[in-house]
Homo-oligomer: A and B are copies of this chain.
Amino acid sequence: MFKMISKVNEDLQKERSKCTFNTEELTNFLDGGAQNAERRRKLENKVLSVPGILDEVPEEYLSHKEKYENAIRKGTLLYRTLEAAQDPTQDEDDTVILHLRSTITTAVFRDYTPFGVHFSMFIPTLRNQGDEKQRAYWLERALKMEIIGTYAQTELGHGTFIRGLETTATYDPNTEEFVLHSPTLTSYKWWPGHLAHTANYCVVMAQLHTQGKNCGIQPFLVQIRDEETHMPLPGIKVGEIGAKLGFNTVNNGFIGFDHVRIPRERMLMKNAQVLKDGTFKASPNSKLAYGTMVYVRVLIVNNAAAILARAVTIAIRYAAIRRQSKPKPNEPEPQILDYVTQQHKLFIGIATSYAYTIFARWLWNVYTKTTKDMAAGRLDNLPELHAIACVMKALSSSESTALVEQCRLACGGHGFMLSSNFPQLYGIATATCTYEGENTVLLLQTARYLVKTWSQKEKGLPLSSSTAYLAERSLPEKWDSSLDGIIRAFQRVSFGKLSNSVSSMEQYVKSGMSAEDAWNKASVQLIAAAEAHGRAVLLSVYKSEMDQRVATLSAPLKTVLMQLVDLYFVYWTLRNMGDLLLFTQLSEEDVRKLQRRYEDLLEKIRPNAVGLVDSFDFRDEVLHSTLGAYDGRAYERLMEEAMKSPLNKEPVNVSFHKYLKPFMRGQL
């Protein structure tokens, strides 16, 4: 009925013109150099120009089955293109950064790739747990994608408690085979990605039984479908687990085994082995398995930051173009980004995304160093790394999930629409709170490490570097509002909470409880202690990494990045005010000053808000959002997207004639 305007929204243009720093400089900082940024953009261009790789009908209008079929179609297109684009000359560090910054699959699949687990779990397991011969044959086939595999550990009845898994692999020395079996309904494998209709091979974690003994959980490579016909092999019951809050293109499946026989050589034998006669040889070091878990958790921290970056980009741009209300009668409606309540909701999202991005890189370096140490037989730092990875996976996933929702809610009703992409981002964000170690379970693991540390401290033994502060004679209680002062204060809180948890447990034990019951009864406090430790580590690393990394940046960029650090610190000080009041000498007057500092920081960051999110350099295809596109044409896009709904292809839906009309006439 009237023309759609196609230029960039004027308000957004103004925001960009008043940005005080060079966004390209910040993008390059994130990419680890201009050359990397260039390389990333080239790859994005290449993939997104493949015909048919982007959807014409938005995915949300398809049926569950159609979504799967469409994902497989696009998946094969994507991986052929990525394969062709590989650059063997690239050095390893750059590959890592490129990987950490890559969002290209999210442009193609709004929730998740249909072959992700093949790369993130199946291939690494073959690589790390297969012996030389197994690697030579199976890893090669997997890398070429002649076979598609997945990794099956979690069962219907057991996720957290791995020792409780029920699937059995019983060795039969007569035929030199393992017999895989699912003795109960709860022993069915449940959740593995691609398992339902895509994968034809699967690493199955099962209780090994040989020579009448249970030898614990071991990995077995099992063919589940015929390579020619794709029919499930005899004795295998496989299917999909059904629709989910997210990951509906991932084809998560279940599998049950009815005495399925596989050759002895299909147990992955790099670590533990079963000899022909059935003799079991245990793995030389059971801690080696920790490495992969830590690796995945490092990726999750990075991923949490990246999902949040997308959400906050959408929310900030929308807040810049949306105008609402009239606080001053003679002035136009302000951009909603000018409301301090809106800044309060969104700027912490920007700061948090930067904080975890920086933290993930630091953690990556620690992980790499620890892995090298492990290869050389030095395992001393592994427990500390594991404790940090646990708590930081939990903090980053829960924090980013909450902030993705905060971004959505800050966009009002329009954020509720799938075309905003917020609901889909939420689905993949919140899943990270549960998978790869449920957050509460992980926090309790870190707590266990801390309680152990506490008793080492009591005995005067040396502590790891991230917990060294727990041994300091007197952490200062006097309040100091500098960044370093705030770090010290959070360390003091962590100390106080851990101390209280330990003494609660001691009291419970004194009153006659078992150690396990005392642990359980104090576990709400223990979780809080783990979180406090994680917060202290995060603040300390974020600050020291930024101090180093901004050194080479231009003054304007340095200023704004340090404002974000300041915002993050003050936000958490105000939010954890209760703990700080309890354990430090923070006063009411200090709180008032901090509140004022917070309000001033929001004002300082305001002019650069759009620049800060533009610098993430997400293509419109990656953001996939009517509200967050670079040009800010949110209203036009909302209408354009709505018109793609199949319901809008006909003026009158068939249900009118079938049901509504007879109903309204009283004939039904």
Contacts and interface: CB of A to CB of B under 8 A. Distances in A.
Contacts of A578: 576-581
Interface in A495-544: 500, 504, 514, 516, 519-525, 527
A490 interface: no
Nearest to A235: B1
Contacts of A652: 197, 229-231
A146 B665 CA distance: 6
Interface in A433-468: 433-435, 438-440, 444
Given A341-B527, A656-B230, A243 B60 contact: yes
B659 A73 contact: yes
A51 interface: no
B154 A333 contact: no
Contact of A635 (B156, B405, B591, B592): B156
Nearest to A526: B341
A247 to B, nearest CB: 8
Nearest to A648: B239
A638 B63 contact: no
A553 interface: no
A61 interface: yes
A643 interface: yes
Nearest to A5: B185
Query: What is the size category of the interface that chain A forms with chain B?
Result: 35 or more
Contacts of A661: 230
A578 B227 CA distance: 62
Interface stretch (A160-168, A355-363, A372-380, A559-567): A160-168
A119 to B, nearest CB: 15
A507 to B, nearest CB: 9
A285 interface: no
Interface stretch (A92-100, A273-281, A290-298, A414-422): A414-422
A157 B414 CA distance: 10
A80 interface: yes
A144 B535 CA distance: 60
A175 interface: no
A191 interface: yes
Interface stretch (A121-129, A301-309, A321-329): A321-329
Given A164-B333, A232-B651, 10 more contacts: A160-B325, A160-B412, A163-B326, A241-B638, A242-B417, A244-B418, A340-B521, A405-B430, A576-B578, A578-B581
The 5 closest A-B pairs by CB, nearest first: A578-B578, A577-B578, A60-B243, A72-B655, A76-B663
